């Protein structure tokens, strides 16, 4: 429907298919109802309500409540922090229907002056979700993000895995109370948050499996990163002695596998990195790599030695083996087979 009201052009979708029957319905029922609303003043009141468009900051609070359940607590906190830093200063007091595509483009360009394209793309996604929610609530008629391209970025994760000799050195000279942490990282590929969240009740020595069902990041205990991350991890022969030894020396005061000297569980991997990992690499003369490289080391080591890609994917907690291949394809074993020899 398109008509004029108080000098303003009104366009409104009826949300019905354009056919002869519906056109008849519009002419015989919908249009007469509209005329009645105009004559009684009800349409004027409705239009006034529509004029009260919230600001970005006002609707941001609503949008974040909408998605609170589906997001992890840490993700929600990170999104709020990014909003406060990079979106609110530019758009917080701006009405949602006043945001233009040019505003979005200029904002992106400013962010790119100080942030990587990957970071800007993530911040853009947060903002776009807020505007999408406003579109769903019919507060706006179009999302200006549809007209502005996201910045391109190369999603390159730098992998610098350890070799077997380096792993042996690390596990030989690591302190007794933390050696098993590194062994688990190298021989299971578990994430650091999953390692510090591990409890003795998760480890089945008879079945030789580890149940990964929680993660601790920044002191907050949550479910693992994704649904597929909740998994059973196999205890390899090489790993078993390290776990048995650690079980013998730990006091198990907290129920967690890894405890501080005060008998409480670690709440972040930062302390492990600062007090154990970095000093150990320095003392061994090894090139520094962060703790997450233990996970990359496990994956690349297993794949390069011909282990089944599906098994490696399950150990890592990837949703699909294709995801594992995307990350670690260059490590797939190649026996220098002569291609096309059948020709």
- Residues 327 and 302: their CA atoms lie apart, in Å, by 13
In this structure, the answer to whether residues 223 and 327 fall within a common structural domain is yes
CB contact at 8 A, 263 and 254:
yes
pLDDT in tens, 269-306: 999 999 999 999 999 999 999 999 999 999 999 999 98
In this structure, the answer to whether residues 140 and 75 fall within a common structural domain is yes
Q: Which of 37-41, 151-155, 288-292 has the highest mean pLDDT?
A: 288-292
For residue 208, is pLDDT > 80?
yes
Beta bridge partners of residue 242, listed in sequence order: none
In this structure, the answer to whether residues 216 and 324 fall within a common structural domain is yes
pLDDT over 70, % of the chain: 92
**CATH number of 123's domain:** 1.10.150.130
46 assigned to some structural domain = yes
291 assigned to some structural domain = yes
342 assigned to some structural domain = no
In this structure, the answer to whether residues 299 and 207 fall within a common structural domain is yes
154 assigned to some structural domain = no
336 assigned to some structural domain = no
Q: What is the pLDDT of residue 75?
A: 86
CB contact at 8 A, 180 and 235:
no
In this structure, the answer to whether residues 80 and 111 fall within a common structural domain is yes
In this structure, the answer to whether residues 227 and 285 fall within a common structural domain is yes
Other beta carbons within 10 Å of 281: 17
CB contact at 8 A, 161 and 296:
yes
Both tokens assigned to 113 = 């002056």
How many domains does the chain divide into?
3
158 assigned to some structural domain = no
- Residues 243 and 182: their CA atoms lie apart, in Å, by 11
CA 48 remoteness from chain centre: 40
**Exposure pattern of 129-154 as b/e (b: 16+ CB <10 Å)?**
bbbebbbeeebbeebbbeebeebeee
DSSP 196: H
In this structure, the answer to whether residues 207 and 265 fall within a common structural domain is yes
Full domain range(s) for residue 15 = 2-51
pLDDT in tens, 98-149: 999 999 999 999 998 888 888 899 999 999 999 999 888 888 888 899 999 9
In this structure, the answer to whether residues 40 and 60 fall within a common structural domain is no
Both tokens assigned to 137 = 């609530």
String of DSSP letters for 250-288: ---SSSBSSB-TTS-B-S-SHHHIIIIIHHHHHHHTPPP
Beta bridge partners of residue 234, listed in sequence order: 209
In this structure, the answer to whether residues 68 and 131 fall within a common structural domain is yes
Residues 6+ apart with CB under 8 A from 323: 313
In this structure, the answer to whether residues 46 and 72 fall within a common structural domain is no
Which residue in this structure is represented by tokens 């040019």? 102
In this structure, the answer to whether residues 104 and 171 fall within a common structural domain is no
**CATH number of 257's domain:** 1.10.443.10
In this structure, the answer to whether residues 291 and 177 fall within a common structural domain is yes
CB contact at 8 A, 233 and 212:
yes
Domain boundary among 88, 118, 147: 147
Going by pLDDT thresholds of 50, 70 and 90, the confidence category of residue 330 is confident
- Residues 38 and 131: their CA atoms lie apart, in Å, by 30
133 assigned to some structural domain = yes
């Amino acid at each position: 429907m398109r008509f004029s009201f108080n000098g303003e052009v009104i366009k409104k979708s009826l949300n019905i298919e354009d056919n002869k029957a519906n056109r008849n319905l519009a002419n015989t029922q919908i249009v007469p109802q509209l005329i009645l609303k105009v004559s009684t003043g009800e349409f004027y009141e409705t239009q006034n309500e529509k004029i009260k468009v919230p600001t970005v900051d006002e609707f941001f609070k609503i949008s974040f409540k909408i998605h609170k359940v589906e997001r992890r607590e840490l993700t929600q906190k990170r999104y709020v922090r990014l909003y406060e830093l990079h979106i609110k200063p530019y758009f917080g007091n701006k009405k949602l229907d006043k945001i233009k595509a040019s505003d979005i483009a200029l904002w992106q360009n400013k962010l790119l002056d100080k942030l990587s394209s990957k970071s800007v793309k993530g911040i853009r996604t947060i903002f776009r979700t807020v505007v999408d929610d406003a579109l769903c609530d019919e507060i706006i008629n179009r999302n200006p993000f549809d007209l502005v391209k996201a910045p391109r970025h190369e999603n390159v994760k730098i992998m610098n895995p350890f070799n077997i000799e380096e792993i042996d050195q690390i596990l030989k000279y690591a302190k007794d109370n933390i050696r098993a942490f590194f062994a688990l990282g190298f021989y299971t590929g578990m994430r650091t948050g999953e390692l510090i969240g591990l409890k003795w009740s998760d480890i089945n020595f008879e079945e030789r499996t580890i149940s990964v069902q929680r993660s601790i990041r920044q002191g907050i205990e949550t479910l693992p990163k994704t649904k597929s991350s909740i998994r059973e991890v196999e205890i390899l022969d090489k790993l078993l002695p390290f776990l048995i030894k650690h079980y013998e020396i730990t006091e198990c005061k907290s129920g967690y596998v890894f405890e501080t000297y005060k008998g409480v569980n670690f709440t972040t991997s930062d302390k492990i990195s600062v007090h154990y990992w970095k000093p150990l690499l320095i003392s061994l003369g090894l090139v520094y790599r962060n703790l997450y490289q233990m996970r990359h080391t496990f994956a690349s080591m297993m794949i390069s030695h011909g282990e089944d890609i599906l098994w490696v994917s399950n150990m890592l907690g990837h949703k699909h083996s294709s995801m594992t291949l995307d990350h670690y394809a260059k490590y797939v074993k190649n026996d220098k087979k002569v291609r096309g020899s059948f020709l």
